[in-house]
Amino acid sequence: MTRPDPAPLAAAADWCAGLAAVLADVAGQAGRLAARIADDWSDDHGREWAERAALLRRELSRDALAATELATDLARRSADASLTGAPTTDPPTTGAGALSAPVAGSTRPTGARLGGTDADRVDEERGMRIAQLADGPG
């Protein structure tokens, strides 16, 4: 498993934030353009194009919101990747139980590990570990 590099995620987040601003601006201008076309082009073609411009405004507004949400998500993922350190690749698995063995200086991410479709074994331990007191003498 490859840990994500925060830099491309941050660049993508910046691009999405800029895109959201441009889309919102263009959407507003497309809406005003649709109204002007309806006023100044009063035949069937004009009405059709005014409707298409109004539809474009709605689509661009939705895309602006989607771009804002994606920018937030990408920025969060970038921040998460930064917190976990430089991008690394996990050691390859070589057989059953290889992943469950502790690795000295392990760089594996923490948290739950889910099974994949590659038929590799994952950690045998399940659930949380509860602290226990050592057995007393006698």
Among positions 3, 46, 113, 120, the unique one binding other proteins when judged by CB under 8 A? 46
Structure tokens at 126: 């399940």
Q: Per-residue x/- marks for other proteins, 93-132, CB under 8 A?
A: ----------------------------------------
The stretch near other proteins (CB under 8 A) out of 1-9, 97-105, 106-114, 120-128 is 1-9
Count residues binding other proteins (CB under 8 A).
35
Does residue number 52 form part of the binding site for other proteins (CB under 8 A)? yes
Binding pattern for the stretch 16-35 against other proteins, x by CB under 8 A and - elsewhere? x-xx--xx-xx--xx--x--
Binding region for other proteins (CB under 8 A) out of 36-44, 85-93, 104-112, 124-132: 36-44
Q: Which residue has the tokens 């497309």?
A: 30
Choosing from 1, 24, 31, 43, the residue that interacts with other proteins (CB under 8 A) is: 43
Tell me which residue of 39, 37, 79 sits closest to 57, measured CA to CA: 37
Instruction: Give Cα separations from 51 to 4, 29, 30, 64, 119 (angstroms).
Output: 43, 14, 11, 20, 53
Query: Is 87 within 8 Å of 4 (Cβ atoms)?
Result: yes
Q: Which of 51, 59, 80, 123 binds other proteins (CB under 8 A)?
A: 59
In the chain, the N- to C-terminal Cα span, in Å, equals: 48
CA angle at residue 71 from 116 to 58, to 5 degrees? Answer: 110
